[in-house]
Every structure is written in structure tokens, then in C-alpha cells.
Structure 1
């Protein structure tokens, strides 16, 4: 009997740890066909998403990898490849050129907040401010957050509306909200 207990306890402990690991991943939405891990940084998780290859290339070209791997906390409104594809033809290729690094950096940092902002607190702040919330980004952009039927939307400096399609993707250094439109500064 003592031998049976010694054999069963380690198996039970390993099973509980495995179940806990699955639960931690299951709590986080999958993005771009890849599991997102709370133990990884924004950059580490984004690099695994098939929907964010353009964003990752842009972050690398702008030299923001180290920043977004830092302690944070950050909230990143992460445009998908399809969001970048909605920009006028040639825009992304032009922004990725070394001579346009400053403009690219401005656009990307306008997708970042210097705080961990989960969806429920954002909605509460929108409610507290009468239906819209002024949001100041790391890049100095002033955007407007709002929501309709539980879907958060961000209005950029040019009047474009980005819908949050996947919210609250928790990271070790913040949170990602996947969006369907690239946010642009006002001119």
C-alpha cells in the first residue's frame, strides 16, 4: 500500500500541474492560430501569431523590440495583417524603409498605452466619462475609446474606427487587444 501511494502521488501531482498549465493557456484567447502565454512578453507572443507578421516586422524595423519586451506594463492595440492591408497600396512597404523609421515609430507607439488596460476597466471608464474616453498613447496620440454591445472601438486622430476583435490577451508585461484597423495620428 505504501508503494502504491508513493507511485500515485507523483503522478497525481504531475497531472495537476499539467491541468493548471492547460488552464492558464485556456484562459488566454488564441491569436493567429497560436496559443498566447501569460508568461511570455508582448513581442514573444506576437511573433507566434500568423495574423501579426506585418506588425512584428514593423516593430523590428522601428527598433521597438527591446522596449516591448521590457517590464511594462503596456497595453498594445495590435493591428492584424488584414488591418495593415487596408492601408493604401505601398504604405507598409514605404513605412518599413529605414528613412521612414521616425514615422513608423510614431504610428506604432500610437498603438501603445503605458498601463495594463483590460477591457472591463476600459468599459467602466468609458461609462464614467459619459460614453467616450480620451486615451493618450505612448506616441503622444490622443484617441477616443468607446464601446457598443460589449465591443470596444478606438477612434484614431483621422476619424478611423478600429474594432477590438480579440480582447484581454494577457502577457507577462501587459495586455494585447487585437484590432482590425491601423490607428493613425492626426496628420
Structure 2
């Protein structure tokens, strides 16, 4: 048993540095700029269902949280690996009840690794997406055209997230150093190798710091 007097485990660096505003998100300007798809949604305050397709560490979870907060919506996150149909039905029932009672502006349901769900699990989402009980944001590293059933895919816009480039990763590294309050002991070559090892994955970069 953990003692009450033991210090709490520090937050992972990736969590500590997770942006809370769209302006602070690193990369994905092709989606987030004011005249681009997600930028326009944020400006209007109205979200539609989306599938975030992209490599790990490109900000899928972060974007989902920010979009929910910026729209004044409740946020629920479930993992398609860990959660089955019973858990999904509980979340959907809660979303529908809150909507009917006027208790919220709606719910963003973020489903991580949505491609892992079978057809029955995906089909269970359809009526709730259609009636507006939830705004679905699914995250996947796999091509949605092959991994999602056609009915669900037709009700969501696919947003392709790109790997972070060297400039993006450099900005993230600077934020990490500022948060840690120290400069990493890296010469120019070591810094370049560190950024190359991250291979566009911001979370992996922070793990290596």
C-alpha cells in the first residue's frame, strides 16, 4: 500500500505539456488554420463528427479535448481496445439522457483506436451520432476507408493528421526544456539525432527527453 507521506508520482511530460488552447497546438496547420476545416469549426463553435487518421504522437487526443472544451461540450474518452459494447452503451445512454434533460450542450465522445471495434460496436454509435446526442471523434492509425463500416464513415469527416516536422519537434523540445527548467546537454549533432529518432512522434520525443 502506498503511504500517505510518499510523494505523488510526477505527471508524464507529455501530459504536463498537453496544450489546452487550439493556438498552442504544435503542427497540423493544414487543419487548424482559421481558414481550414477544424479552424472554421472552432470559430463557429459548432462541431461535426470526425475521424482523426494519423500516426501516433500527432495530437489526436489533445485536439479532441480542446475541441470539446472550446465548444462548451462534455467530454468522454473510451478506448476501443479496453471498452466493449456494454461500456459504450452506458456512455451513450448518459449522453442521450443529459441531452433530453437539457443538462449540457452535448457530448464529444472520443474513441481511441476506433478501428479495433467490430461492426456491431460501430453500428451502436449510429443512432446517437444521427440524433446529435454525441459528436463522435474517432482516432485511428489505420485507413478509415478500410477499417470503418460505410454507414459510420459516411457520417464523419476524415481529418488526416501529419507527422510533426523537424521545426514542430524543435518547438516541442524547447517547451520541454522550459517546463523542466534546464537545458538538455545536447550538442547540435545529438539534438538532430534526437529529433530524427522521434520520427514525427511528439509523445515519443518527450519520452526520450
The TM-score normalised by the length of structure 1 is 0.28
The TM-score normalised by the length of structure 2 is 0.26
More RCO (CA 8 Å, sep 6+): 2
Higher helix share: 2
